[in-house]
Amino acid sequence: MIPSSFTYKRAGSAEEACDLAAEYGEDAKFLAGGHSLLPLMKLRLAAPGVIIDLGGLRDLSYVTDQGSYIAIGALTRHHDVQHSDLLAREVPLLAHAAGQVGDPQVRHRGTIGGSVAHADPASDLPAVLLALDATLVARGADSTREIPIGEFFQSLFETALEPGELLTEIRVPKPAGAGWSFQKFTQRAIDWAIVGVAAQGGRVALVSMGGTPLRAAAVEAALAGGASPAEAAEHAAEGTSAASDIRASREYREHLARVLVSRALTESAARA
Ligand SMILES: Cc1cc2nc3c(=O)[nH]c(=O)nc-3n(C[C@H](O)[C@H](O)[C@H](O)COP(=O)(O)OP(=O)(O)OC[C@H]3O[C@@H](n4cnc5c(N)ncnc54)[C@H](O)[C@@H]3O)c2cc1C
């Protein structure tokens, strides 16, 4: 329960964070809200030699209207995403889902960038951002690039971020009135999802149904072909690889996916 020893560095700017990451290489890890990294360090499942604390980068905490999309700074906490009037108006799926993450303490510390960079398939916001077709902005020591979220999640806890790259912004296209829904099935109110579903118009994404957050491609294809929500939902487990674990068997997760996709599509259609 005590992490192995590490060197602590506090970055004062994104530039300094990237310079420190370049200096210390793969031995270094960024620290945002710490609500995923610190538990791993305490269990010694992660043992970075250098921690680069991003807590001083308050200029990366914002939600702004950029016309066709909403820009969200990577250090924006779940609580601020949940309570953003701009997101409630323009991207209600994201504001609502942020309010379902953990409990108030988690939402006051955890950041949207940390959630995406950590790439836990059981996390809520990565799947929500997949359904929203977001674009991620990453800054390295020498350059900045945009990564479509569909190319970001590569395998369990693995992303398209290069070593030392800092996620700085999440860009969410305005969905322009399409219906939405977020369904999260938990044992207790504050738990992680056993299965979750995010729907935005005809785009559907799944939580905890594989090694990465997934688009429910077979459901989307059925919808595009004119299937009803109930018919399309029957395809929810196709192309998935849900785990069996202490909380649910694979078969139960597949059943939940079909039920929750059906509910999500029905609610989304009612909101359109
Ligand atoms: C009790 C508990 C319950 C929770 N319940 C839920 C839940 O129901 N749903 C849910 O989705 N999540 C849940 N979480 C996770 C929570 O949302 C975390 O806050 C989130 O996953 C990680 O964000 P963070 O800012 O804490 O990141 P950190 O823990 O600081 O970092 C996580 C990883 O991302 C990297 N990283 C962080 N920021 C950046 C960046 N800007 N650029 C590049 N890399 C970066 C770090 O180096 C680290 O590898 C829970 C956590 C706890 C402790």
Residue 93, pLDDT above cutoff 90: yes
Report the nearest-CA residue for atom 28 of ligand 1.
34
Name the residue type at position 145: R
Residue 235 Cα to ligand 1 middle (Å): 30
Helix axes 217-224, 250-271, angle to 10 degrees: 40
Q: What would the mean pLDDT of 69-95 be, rounded to a whole number?
A: 98
Report the percent of the chain where pLDDT is more than 70: 100
Residue 246, pLDDT above cutoff 80: yes
State in Å, rounded, how far the first CA of the chain is from the last one.
48
Q: Which residues pair with 72 in a beta bridge?
A: 63, 170
Span 3-30, pLDDT tens digits: 899 999 999 999 999 999 999 999 999 9
Q: Are strands 214-215 and 50-53 parallel, antiparallel or unpaired?
A: unpaired
The band of 183, judged by pLDDT with boundaries at 50, 70 and 90, is very high
H/E element, 110:
none
Residue 177, pLDDT above cutoff 90: no
The predicted pLDDT at position 173 comes to: 98
Residue 110, pLDDT above cutoff 80: yes
- Give the integer Cα–Cα distance in Å for 138 and 106: 24
The band of 190, judged by pLDDT with boundaries at 50, 70 and 90, is confident
Q: What would the mean pLDDT of 99-114 be, rounded to a whole number?
A: 97
Report the nearest-CA residue for atom 41 of ligand 1.
167
Q: How far is CA 182 from CA 25, 197, 201, in A?
A: 38, 6, 12
Q: How far is CA 151 from CA 69, 100, 115, 171, 257, in A?
A: 19, 25, 16, 15, 23
- 6, 10, 37: which to mutate for ligand 1, most atoms within 8 A of CB? 37
The band of 138, judged by pLDDT with boundaries at 50, 70 and 90, is very high
Residue 129 Cα to ligand 1 middle (Å): 15
The predicted pLDDT at position 176 comes to: 81
Ligand 1: residues with CB < 6 A are 29-37, 39, 74, 101-102, 106, 110-111, 113-115, 117-118, 123-125, 161, 166-167, 192
Residue 112, pLDDT above cutoff 80: yes
- Tokens representing 159 are 């992303």
CB 161 within 8 A of CB 117: yes
Q: What would the mean pLDDT of 159-186 be, rounded to a whole number?
A: 95
Residue 231 Cα to ligand 1 middle (Å): 35
Residue 1, pLDDT above cutoff 80: no
Span 206-232, pLDDT tens digits: 999 999 999 999 999 999 999 999 999
Residue 226 Cα to ligand 1 middle (Å): 38
Q: What would the mean pLDDT of 86-93 be, rounded to a whole number?
A: 97
Domains identified in the chain and CATH numbers: 7-53 (3.30.43.10), 58-173 (3.30.465.10), 180-271 (3.30.390.50)
The predicted pLDDT at position 49 comes to: 95
Q: Tell which atom from ligand 1 comes closest to the C-alpha of 193.
A: 8
Q: What would the mean pLDDT of 151-172 be, rounded to a whole number?
A: 97
Report the nearest-CA residue for atom 27 of ligand 1.
114
Span 31-48, pLDDT tens digits: 999 999 999 999 999 999
Residue 101 Cα to ligand 1 middle (Å): 10
Report the nearest-CA residue for atom 10 of ligand 1.
123
Name the residue type at position 44: R
Report the nearest-CA residue for atom 6 of ligand 1.
102
Q: Tell which atom from ligand 1 comes closest to the C-alpha of 35.
A: 26
CB 120 within 8 A of CB 36: yes
Residue 102, pLDDT above cutoff 80: yes
Q: What is the CA radius of gyration of the chain?
A: 18
Beta strands in 82-143 (DSSP E): 135-139
The band of 178, judged by pLDDT with boundaries at 50, 70 and 90, is confident
Report the percent of the chain where pLDDT is more than 90: 95
For the chain, give the mean pLDDT.
96
